[in-house]
Amino acid sequence: MASAAVSQPVHPRPAIELHEASVVFGTGEKAVTALTPTTLRMDRGDFLALVGPSGCGKSTILRLASNLIKPSSGQILLGGRDAAAKEMRIGMAFQNPTMLPWLTIEKNVMLPLKIVEPFKRSFQRDKKGAYRDRVHALLAQVGLKDFANHFPWQLSGGMLQRANLCRALIHDPDLLLLDEPFGALDQFTREELWQTLQELYLDRQPTVLLVTHDLREAGYLARRICVMSARPGRIISDRAVTMPQPRDIGVIYTPEFVEMTQGLRELIAQVRK
Amino acid sequence: MNENTKIRIMSLSLIVGFFVMWEVLCVLLGVSDLILPRPSEIAVTLWTRFPVLWPHILQTLYATLTGFALGVIIGVSIGVMIGTSRVAYGVAYPLLVGFSSIPKVAVVPILVLWFGSGTTPAILTAMIICVFPIVVNIATGLATTEPDLEDVLKTLGASKREVLWNVGLPRTMPYFFASLKVAITLSFVGAVLSETVASNRGIGNVMMTASSNFQVSLVFAGLFILALMGVALYAFFSFLEARVTGWATRGKDFAVT
């Protein structure tokens, strides 16, 4: 399966850089601060989990990185350049699987190849051949081989989330942005998908920014965990997870792991007050 | 026998029963042919006069479909324009509602004044009458598209056009087809209306002339033809709808390609 355990970032170059970036929605008295000026740097190939109470601005950071919104002040750089320059290819998955209901799973997963260069260029020519094989190979890797021609409503929540991961990865993104992708799933499915995601990550080595409420999810998957305080959000803790990867799912029951998540839990409990 | 076959048989019996009742009541009550001809008489008239009626059928069909096609093109364009922009939606909607609440019958004399009698006002009436349901449905469909679905494309760096093409328009298809089924029947109303007032061709004109000559069974024959054409076109768009928007109704009998 995946490459050997790597505990140091393989690309010491910057992936995401936030320089005092803030986001304010609205103006005047109705203005809502979604993110107070925040500075954060992430290296290429790293896996960072962002945890914190609701409404602290975690998702806002993700939306900044995906170029869905612009910072009200400060700066965000992707791969050392302005986010709009599309220096990094982005794949994103939300908590809601957001499969387009009129397309089969295969065509949903193929969508990025239709939109993102350099795949877009030869989409018309390749969609029945090379791209289709590519989609099927990835679907097979997450156990959805037989569901390529199904429609989204014919799949369970866990399967949809697998397809969602496939769609976020099909175009080999440099940067994978995950917004609580497993939040709505049951514990068993969630753990299964953690392993799937770990495999895919070690296999392809993208830069991953994961926003989550789940401390065990953060601890199991990430190489680095940042904790944000409640509104107005601010990064109050930034620590590395040194356990070697790939990690066995049993790791979450080891004393070392439990101690780490306990520490994070207490930290978040404090900042909620 | 499954549920669907049962419903079809019952539906067919209802239609047959309706005509049988009509025939029987006419005979029993001794209704004059000049008031309400029997279905059998109408059928005979349809059969014997069909060669004469045929060009008029084509004329009405031509006016209806041309007007309908123009209406779809214009309706979709306006609908996309005001459905994709919040500003355009707010600015243009009051005017559109104003236009759509004008009784279209009232427009025919104006069209005749501008274009003379004949095919042009029939086409234009068919067009005007069917534009608004299409505009409103397309605009509603686009304006209510889930932002989550659009975000999927936006994070990939898709242009506005790509978002519209890959999310907005497919998402709007159920609304579009719902409006098409209304629009095609309205187009018939428009074309026949205009033919009745100002034309010397088309089913509307045939019915008008027959009525003034007291050829009552021919008037009813005209009605039959209109009903049949309406049903046929409605069925055509229903079929198309099931093929294109089966995902919305989660239909099981449409092909997965």
Over residues A175-190, mean pLDDT: 86
User: DSSP assignment, residue A129?
Assistant: T
The verdict on residue A223 lying in a domain is yes
Does residue A24 have a pLDDT over 60? yes
Alpha carbons A33 and A30: distance in angstroms, whole number: 10
Q: Specify the CATH number for the domain of residue A263.
A: 3.40.50.300
Alpha carbons A46 and A174: distance in angstroms, whole number: 11
pTM: 0.77
Task: Considering only the beta carbons, identify the residue of A68, A101, A151 that sits closest to B155.
Answer: A68
Over residues B1-9, mean pLDDT: 85
Report residue B244's pLDDT band, with 50, 70 and 90 as the boundaries: confident
Does residue B122 have a pLDDT over 50? yes
Contacts with B166 from chain A: Cβ below 8 Å? 100, 111, 114-115
Number of compact structural domains in chain A: 1
C-alpha Rg value of chain B to the nearest Å: 22
CB A45 within 8 Å of CB A14: no
CA of B162 vs chain A CAs: smallest distance (Å): 8
Alpha carbons A110 and A168: distance in angstroms, whole number: 10
Please measure the distance between the N-terminal and C-terminal CA atoms of chain A and give it in whole angstroms: 44
Single-letter amino acid, residue A189: T
Nearest CA in chain B to A112: B156
Does residue A1 have a pLDDT over 70? no
Contact map slice: B 148-167 vs A, CB within 8 A:
148-149, 151-158, 162, 166-167
> How many Cβ atoms are within 10 Å of B39's Cβ, its own excluded?
18
pLDDT in tens, B26-73: 999 988 888 889 999 899 999 998 998 899 999 999 999 999 999 999
For A77, the domain range is 9-88+213-273
Instruction: Give whole-number Cα distances, B237 to B181, B190, B231, in Å.
Output: 6, 19, 10
A44, β-bridge pairs: A11
Which CATH superfamily, name and number, covers B37-247? MetI-like (1.10.3720.10)
Is residue A2 less than 8 Å (CB to CB) from chain B? no
Q: Give the DSSP H or E segment for B239.
A: helix B216-244
The verdict on residue A187 lying in a domain is no
CB contact under 8 A, A100 and B149: yes
pLDDT in tens, B11-35: 999 999 999 999 999 999 988 888 8
Instruction: Give whole-number Cα distances, B235 to B75, B177, B230, in Å.
Output: 21, 12, 8
User: DSSP assignment, residue A34?
Assistant: E
DSSP strand pairing (A73-78 vs A11-25)? antiparallel
The verdict on residue A78 lying in a domain is yes
Name the residue ranges covered by the structural domains of chain B: 1-31, 37-247
Is residue A100 less than 8 Å (CB to CB) from chain B? yes
Alpha carbons A18 and A222: distance in angstroms, whole number: 19
Interface probe with B: pick from A100, A160, A177, most Cβ of B within 10 Å: A100
Max avg pLDDT among A70-84, A88-102, A227-241: A88-102
Q: Is B32 helix (H, G, I), strand (E, B) or coil?
A: coil
Q: Which of A106, A186, A114, A190 is nearest to A152 (CA)?
A: A106
CA of A90 vs chain B CAs: smallest distance (Å): 6
Report residue B1's pLDDT band, with 50, 70 and 90 as the boundaries: low
CB A163 within 8 Å of CB A97: yes
Single-letter amino acid, residue A133: D
Note the Cα A230 to chain centre separation in Å: 21
Over residues A6-31, mean pLDDT: 75
